[in-house]
Amino acid sequence: MPQIKEINTGNSASAALANAVALVTGGSRGIGRAIALRLASLGASVAICGRDIAMLSSTGSALKGTGARTLSQVADVTRAADIEALVGKTQSELGPITILVNNAGIGLFGPAHEKSETDWDRVLDTNLKSAFLVSRAVVPGMIQRGGGDIINISSLAGKNAFAGGGLYCASKWGLQGLSACMAEDLREHGIRVSIICPGSVATEFSSRPKDPAKVLAPEDVAHAVAMILTQGPRSFLSEVHVRPLRKP
């Protein structure tokens, strides 16, 4: 895969996450972009990845403006080789990864019986397999250092069924199970694994028109991420549901 890189050596030493290094998958747009910018504003060094060079460049420029140390790299997080390169470059340029946000995801909707095997693989690989692969690459270092945070961005569709949601719900229900088991596997190593389940978010993810008053903004999810990362050291928020104040 082609790679692009953007590094900025600014520092925010007084911020809450000044010593943290965060990797946000799918960080070039939508929820991922909002999360990356929020973490940078809190002082973390932030690496983002995605497959769209133009969007990565745009978000990379915005991250530079916060004064954070940043890295932007093209990567397909469904491919182990791309992940190995991404993690290696992040740690080489920014330092050991202390925060992982598995945000990369896609939606493909309609009756499951009308979908192809290719459709299934695309959704499950992006929404579920990627979280497994990236976590697997990052966790050994966290275990060695005795701590870290992994936040998986799921959906309320991981808790509720709806017509046309077969593939998407399968991926998010799977992510719920993976996250809960990872939390049990890793808590004794000082690693906190949390999952965030947003309701409908106003991004380019969905083509359905939405009433802005009845959907979340990407920044609402970013706020939940910040809340998880700034809690006290003796606890962890295992699952956070984020809903619009007004019902859709």
Would strands 99-102 and 148-153 be described as parallel, antiparallel, or unpaired? parallel
Tell me phi and psi for residue 247, to 5 degrees.
Answer: -70, 140
Decide if 226 contacts 44 (C-beta within 8 A): no
d(CA 81, CA 23): 17
* 135 carries an active-site annotation: no
Q: Which of 8, 72, 168, 203 is catalytic?
A: 168
Which tokens in the block code for residue 30? 């939508």
Query: With the CA atoms of 26, 205, 221 and 63 taken in that order, what torsion angle do they form, in degrees rounded to the nearest 10?
Result: 40
Give residue for tokens 């606890």: 235
Give residue for tokens 């050994």: 140
Half-sphere exposure of 105 (CA within 13 A, CB side): 30
**In angstroms, how far apart are the furthest CA atoms of the chain?**
54
CB atoms within 10 A of CB 59: 26
Tell me phi and psi for residue 189, to 5 degrees.
Answer: -95, 10
State the catalytic residues: 168
